[in-house]
């Protein structure tokens, strides 16, 4: 059965396929390529979400803010974007909205593809969760051992860290920016409709420098 996806999307749309096997999941990944569509596969259940302009705007802005922050902090990182991370032995796979390597940046910098059977998962994944998934994406992140996930719901940012019990727990600070008030990022994301990205990023950098100056 072939489904035709809508050409105009004003909000994230979800398609859920039950009894989907791994071959179907792999085939759809190949067929869809780099289109703004997110596939999540969890042990026989396949979800397809078409991504709205708002979703992509917020995701892209978070990426730019993190780029600026890492630059101001002189922090080494490797961006992974929305790379598909999948493990056939776990029968699970997904794409984050954005992801980054910090501690493991050097290990993946020269790679063109990531194989989770030999390569580390990203150190940080970002979820723009303005349209909740029907699947337990955090469970998939935990299964592939992503140590930290940021979840932004359009208003609030939750910093979730994988603990020894195999579950994510909300924490007040990021492992990657331990002394920086990451919880204030939504203040800048809410400015997206009021000014250009260039103006917003300039204001963000000014704030970062003020924060760093107050701690020196």
Question: For every residue of 168-182, which 3-state class applies, written as one string?
Answer: EEECCCCCCCCCCCH
Answer yes or no: is 19 within a domain.
Answer: no
pLDDT at 179: 86
pLDDT of 33 higher than 50: yes
Answer yes or no: is 47 within a domain.
Answer: no
Domain extent for 64: 53-215
pLDDT at 4: 41
First-to-final CA distance of the chain: 61
Kindly report, residue by residue over 39-83, the tens digit of the pLDDT: 899 999 999 888 888 899 999 999 999 999 999 999 999 999 999
Q: How confident is the model at residue 13 (pLDDT cuts 50, 70, 90)?
A: low
Answer yes or no: is 145 within a domain.
Answer: yes
Residue 131's CATH number: 3.90.1570
CA atoms of 41 and 21, how far apart (whole Å) = 9
Q: How confident is the model at residue 12 (pLDDT cuts 50, 70, 90)?
A: low
pLDDT at 138: 96
Kindly report, residue by residue over 123-145, the tens digit of the pLDDT: 999 999 876 677 899 999 999 99
CA atoms of 167 and 161, how far apart (whole Å) = 8
Across the range 7-13, mean pLDDT stands at 48
Give the number of domains in the chain: 1
Q: How confident is the model at residue 11 (pLDDT cuts 50, 70, 90)?
A: low
Answer yes or no: is 155 within a domain.
Answer: yes
CA atoms of 45 and 110, how far apart (whole Å) = 33
Kindly report, residue by residue over 99-110, the tens digit of the pLDDT: 999 999 999 999
CA atoms of 25 and 43, how far apart (whole Å) = 11
pLDDT at 35: 67
Across the range 104-121, mean pLDDT stands at 96
Could you tell me how far CA 35 lies from the centroid of its own chain?
A: 16
Three-class secondary structure of residue 184 per DSSP: helix
CA atoms of 81 and 125, how far apart (whole Å) = 9
Answer yes or no: is 38 within a domain.
Answer: no
Answer yes or no: is 131 within a domain.
Answer: yes
H or E element in which residue 64 lies: helix 53-73
Q: Is 26 exposed, middle or buried (0-12, 13-18, 19+ CB in 10 A)?
A: middle
Kindly report, residue by residue over 138-193, the tens digit of the pLDDT: 999 999 999 999 999 999 999 999 999 999 999 999 999 998 999 999 999 999 98
Cβ neighbour number for residue 176 with a 10 Å cutoff: 22
H or E element in which residue 33 lies: none
CB 98 within 8 A of CB 63: yes
Answer yes or no: is 37 within a domain.
Answer: no
Q: How confident is the model at residue 5 (pLDDT cuts 50, 70, 90)?
A: very low
pLDDT at 157: 96
Answer yes or no: is 7 within a domain.
Answer: no
């Amino acid at each position: 059965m072939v489904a035709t996806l809508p050409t105009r999307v004003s909000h994230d749309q979800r398609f859920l396929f039950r009894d989907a096997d791994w071959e179907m999941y792999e085939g759809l990944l190949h067929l869809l390529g780099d289109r703004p569509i997110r596939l999540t596969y969890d042990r026989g259940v396949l979800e397809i979400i078409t991504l709205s302009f708002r979703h992509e705007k917020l995701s892209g802005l978070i990426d730019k803010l993190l780029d600026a922050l890492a630059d101001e902090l002189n922090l080494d990182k490797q961006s992974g974007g929305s790379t598909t991370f999948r493990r056939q032995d776990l029968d699970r796979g997904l794409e984050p909205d954005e992801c980054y390597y910090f501690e493991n940046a050097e290990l993946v910098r020269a790679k063109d593809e990531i194989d989770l059977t030999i390569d580390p998962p990203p150190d940080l994944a970002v979820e723009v969760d303005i349209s909740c998934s029907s699947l337990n994406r955090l469970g998939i992140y935990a299964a592939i051992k992503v140590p930290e996930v940021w979840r932004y719901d359009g208003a609030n940012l939750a910093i979730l860290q994988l603990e020894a019990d195999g579950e994510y727990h909300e924490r007040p600070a990021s492992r990657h920016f331990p002394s920086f008030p990451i919880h204030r990022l939504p203040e800048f994301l809410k400015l997206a409709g009021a000014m250009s990205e260039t103006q917003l990023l300039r204001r963000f950098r000014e704030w970062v420098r003020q924060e760093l100056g107050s701690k020196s």
